[in-house]
């Protein structure tokens, strides 16, 4: 519906901006801790909090420390965490067998956190790249990522993650058909209540570099991921991938990276009307941190503005490394 506003001075839009209480009262978009999934990197050992150089303020945590962090996240109102393992090189191979080891790092961490903090949701990636000696999300044969063979590995990985107690599985591999394979496997093995958040619009982006450092995948990658991740130039293709994954049994979808792809988020939320999450990825985090540490921007203001942008675009929630920090300060003026 369109209308013609009264002419100035009868119409003075600044009346609604004059005071803090008025601005808060008419605000169209809000963020709160319920909007966040907090990503965490885990590693072997005890009492370890290992700083990630390319992500200042983010550490790899041993399981005992991850339990403490998960408990803190729950206490500040964050509903779910996402766990990503740092896999030692000796555990990586071309068959990615550690991915479906029931006692691998991420599965042990899931069990331990679930036992200690039962009320927080746990999301796990279904993808082979942390375990692949080639650094790819799929099994590589003669330089080619083999789609259907990868699906068999992903199916086994999803089942051991479900058995470990994961609440949300996040297939992030971008192989064709993986949502249907995983959903059917979950149904057949009495895991009907496991939620799938599909990385449906995962773009072949240059914003992932620090993440690959965090999980120890940087040096392993041979070539690039353009044969399976989306072309950053394509929005219609992203919508087709969303529709495909929903048709195969995904409950929620994700756009990754975040801020550079707000147009995709908005199209999903407007035209498909399915719960849509965005991942404010490592490169986005690293840029904000670098500018903030140099005094060029106000960290809290910029982070809050970026998170509001996701919500304004229609996102249900955001995976963000700022989740705990923002949850702690949301009750205070930013």
Q: Residue 215 — very low, low, confident or very high, per pLDDT cuts 50/70/90?
A: confident
The set of residues, in sequence order, having a beta carbon less than 8 Å from that of 153 and lying 6+ positions away, is 95, 96, 99, 100, 128, 139
User: Each residue of 180-212: pLDDT tens digit?
Assistant: 999 999 999 999 999 999 999 999 999 998 887
**Considering the domain boundaries, does residue 236 fall inside one?**
yes
Cite the active site residues. Answer: 202, 256
For 318, the domain range is: 32-329
Query: How high is the mean pLDDT of the chain?
Result: 94
pLDDT, position 1: 64
Beta bridge partners of 229: none
pTM: 0.94
279 in Cβ contact with 319 (< 8 Å): yes
Least confident of 135-144, 204-213, 259-268, 316-325: 204-213
Q: How many domains does the chain have?
A: 1
In this structure, what are the phi and psi dihedrals at residue 108, rounded to the nearest 5 degrees?
-65, -40
The pLDDT of residue 135 is 87
Q: Answer whether residue 14 is part of any domain.
A: no
- pLDDT band per the 50, 70, 90 thresholds, residue 331: low
Residue 165 belongs to some domain of the structure: yes
23 in any annotated domain: no
In this structure, what DSSP letter does residue 207 have? T
Q: How far apart are CA 212 and CA 189, in angstroms?
A: 32
For residue 22, is pLDDT > 50? yes
Q: Is 249 domain-assigned? A: yes
Interval 233-252: pLDDT, tens: 999 999 999 999 999 999 99
Whether 230 is covered by a domain: the verdict is yes
Instruction: With respect to residue 262, please indicate whether it lies within any of the assigned structural domains.
Output: yes
Q: The CATH number of the domain where 76 resides is what?
A: 3.20.20.70
Backbone angles phi, psi at 186, to 5 degrees: -65, -45
Residue whose tokens read 């470990």 = 164
- In this prediction, residues 11-25 reach a mean pLDDT of 91
For residue 2, being part of any structural domain is answered with no
């Amino acid at each position: 519906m369109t209308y013609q506003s009264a002419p100035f001075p009868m119409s003075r839009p600044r009346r609604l901006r004059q005071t803090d209480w008025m601005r808060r009262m008419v605000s169209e978009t809000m963020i709160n801790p319920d909007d966040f999934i907090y990503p965490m990197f885990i590693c072997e050992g005890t009492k370890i909090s290992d700083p990630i150089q390319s992500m200042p303020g983010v550490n790899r945590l041993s399981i005992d420390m991850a339990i403490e962090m998960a408990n803190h996240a729950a206490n500040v109102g964050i509903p779910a965490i996402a766990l990503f393992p740092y896999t030692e090189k000796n555990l990586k191979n071309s068959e990615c067998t550690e991915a479906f080891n029931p006692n691998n790092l991420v599965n042990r961490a899931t069990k331990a956190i679930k036992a200690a903090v039962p009320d927080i949701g746990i999301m796990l990636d279904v993808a082979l790249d942390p375990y692949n000696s080639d650094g790819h999300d799929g099994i590589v044969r003669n330089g080619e990522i083999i789609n259907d063979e990868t699906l068999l590995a992903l199916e086994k990985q999803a089942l051991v993650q479900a058995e470990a107690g994961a609440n949300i599985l996040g297939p992030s591999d971008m192989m064709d058909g993986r949502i249907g394979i995983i959903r059917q496997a979950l149904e057949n093995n009495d895991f009907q209540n496991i939620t799938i958040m599909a990385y449906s619009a995962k773009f072949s982006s240059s914003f992932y570099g620090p993440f690959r450092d965090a999980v120890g995948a940087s040096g392993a990658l041979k070539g690039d991921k353009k044969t399976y991740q989306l072309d950053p130039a394509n929005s219609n293709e992203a919508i087709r991938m969303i529709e495909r994954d929903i048709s195969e049994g995904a409950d929620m979808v994700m756009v990754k990276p975040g801020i550079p792809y707000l147009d995709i988020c908005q199209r999903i939320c407007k035209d498909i009307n399915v719960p849509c999450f965005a991942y404010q990825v490592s490169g986005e985090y690293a840029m904000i941190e670098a500018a903030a540490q140099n005094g060029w921007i106000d960290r809290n203001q910029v982070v809050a503005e970026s998170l509001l942008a996701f919500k304004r675009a229609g996102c249900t929630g955001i995976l963000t490394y700022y989740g705990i920090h923002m949850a702690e300060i949301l009750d205070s003026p930013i």
